[in-house]
Amino acid sequence: MSETHLRRPAEAVFADELEALGKIDDSPRPANWRLSPQAVVTYLLGGKLKGGGEITAKYVGNRRLIETAVATLATDRALLLLGLPGTAKSWVSEHMAAAISGDSQLLIQCTAGTDENQIRYGWNYAQLLAKGPSREALVATPLMRGMEAGKIVRLEELTRMGSDVQDTLITVLSEKTLPIPELNTAVFAERGFNIIGTANNRDKGVNELSSALKRRFNVVVLPLPSDMEEEAAIVVKRVRELGSGLELPEIAPADKEIQRVVTIFRELRDGQTLNGKMKLKTPSSTLSTAEAIAVTIGAWSEAGHFGAGAIDAGSLAGNLVGAIVKDPVQDAIVLQEYLETVVRERKDWRDLYGAIREVL
Ligand SMILES: Nc1ncnc2c1ncn2[C@@H]1O[C@H](COP(=O)(O)OP(=O)(O)OP(=O)(O)O)[C@@H](O)[C@H]1O
Ligand SMILES: [Mg+2]
């Protein structure tokens, strides 16, 4: 993995922090864990190290939630991170796997097309024909490799795959074994193996987890940021990190514009203005923190490459409309109304009013 890759996994980007934490970490570590549970929480939430040095915060939010999540992984129950889209479920799961196992890449992206072979194991048919069923002909999935190595396996968007496929996990979670009837053997999970699943509240109805499976997961719900300051701080921080990672052209700090983006997102999401005085219609789009970050990054790229070197109403407008208007008819009406009743009335938002009108 080198610097030229578009995206490097957490354990590569934060290798220094993980190493520094490992050196001073003298609390007991569960078998096959790279760090103790306390150190994993420090890695996620940030903090100062005893001997000097600092760990950056990866997740901004409630410490108790993260402690519960990490503690769960040290038990025989699996962890399910639940929440609205863009509440950092995948982000937290990647960082937890990186800190605990030093490897966040044992990942299965669950979709409607995921079948049992992608969860349990598949066959290399050339080998199968040549040699018959044998261990060499077996294609191990990330789940199988995680069980053998005693590592954390990530299952993204668990509820998107069919219920019958989900239920293959029951034996793995309750017996900690993966039977291979064709070879008359089984893979027994090493200590340190566990699963982090993520699922989206909005997809709840897609393929809801069976109650048998639900019982084997401890659910931790990641909430939306509680207030405006927290959400803006997350966006400012992530935009800075992502923008410099993408090597976007240098621009003036955009904190003030980010305040406006987050205000618009929160107001439309909550269906009322921040001061609670006016009720608003809500669009069909999710308007998550993740999208606020994406809007700002888009505006940064536009401002850096085509604009005056600072994010302004002009570079924000197109990106904002793109994020809010997902349904060209309904959402456009909602935004139009918001524009006329709220944006127009705010004196220092006149530039934004004009710019959005131009693109809507
Ligand atoms: N509380 C938070 N602290 C730090 N980063 C956050 C927070 N909330 C959102 N983010 C940022 O939002 C981005 C998107 O998060 P992520 O993709 O993990 O969301 P998700 O919950 O998995 O969404 P989805 O349900 O769409 O898969 C990440 O870059 C993450 O840093
Ligand atoms: Mg996700």
Residue given tokens 């074994």 in the structure block: 177
Over the stretch 128-163, which tens digit does the pLDDT of each residue have? 999 999 999 999 999 999 999 999 999 999 999 999
Looking at 221, 242, 274, the residue that finishes a domain is 221
Q: Which residues on neighbouring strands pair with residue 80, listed in sequence order?
A: 197, 219
DSSP per residue, 91-104: HHHHHHHHHHHS--
**Nearest by Cα to 60 from 219, 236, 263:** 236
Q: Whose CA is nearest to atom 5 of ligand 1?
A: 59
Q: CB of 146 closer than 6 A to ligand 1?
A: no
Using 50, 70 and 90 to split pLDDT, how confident is the model at 1? low
Instruction: Kindly tell me the burial class for residue 99, based on how many C-beta atoms sit within 10 Å of its own C-beta (0-12, 13-18, 19 or more).
Output: buried
Distance CA 124, CA 254 (A): 52
Q: CB of 81 closer than 6 A to ligand 1?
A: no
Expressed in angstroms and rounded, the spacing between residue 15 Cα and the centre of ligand 2 is 23
**C-alpha distances out from residue 46 to 14, 33, 71, 154, Å:** 12, 19, 17, 22
Structural domain contains residue 309: yes
Count of structural domains within the chain: 2
Backbone angles phi, psi at 184, to 5 degrees: 55, 40
The C-alpha angle 164, 168, 171, rounded to 5 degrees, equals 140
pLDDT at 250 over 90: no
Looking at 202, 221, 240, the residue that finishes a domain is 221
Looking at 186, 221, 256, the residue that finishes a domain is 221
Over the stretch 157-179, which tens digit does the pLDDT of each residue have? 999 999 999 999 999 999 999 99
User: Mean pLDDT in the chain?
Assistant: 94
Q: CB of 88 closer than 6 A to ligand 1?
A: yes
Structural domain contains residue 150: yes
Q: CB of 265 closer than 6 A to ligand 1?
A: no
pTM of this prediction?
0.92
Over the stretch 278-312, which tens digit does the pLDDT of each residue have? 999 999 998 999 999 999 999 999 999 998 889 99
Q: 10 Å Cβ neighbour count for 65?
A: 16
Q: CB of 197 closer than 6 A to ligand 1?
A: no
Ligand nearest to the CA of 85: 1
Q: Whose CA is nearest to atom 4 of ligand 1?
A: 59
Q: CB of 238 closer than 6 A to ligand 1?
A: yes
Structural domain contains residue 49: no
**Nearest by Cα to 43 from 54, 32, 52:** 54
351 and 311 share a domain? yes
182 and 323 share a domain? no
pLDDT at residue 14, as a whole number: 96
Expressed in angstroms and rounded, the spacing between residue 41 Cα and the centre of ligand 2 is 20
Q: CB of 243 closer than 6 A to ligand 1?
A: no
pLDDT at 205 over 70: no
Structural domain contains residue 40: no
Expressed in angstroms and rounded, the spacing between residue 89 Cα and the centre of ligand 1 is 6
303 and 158 share a domain? no
217 and 72 share a domain? yes
313 and 332 share a domain? yes
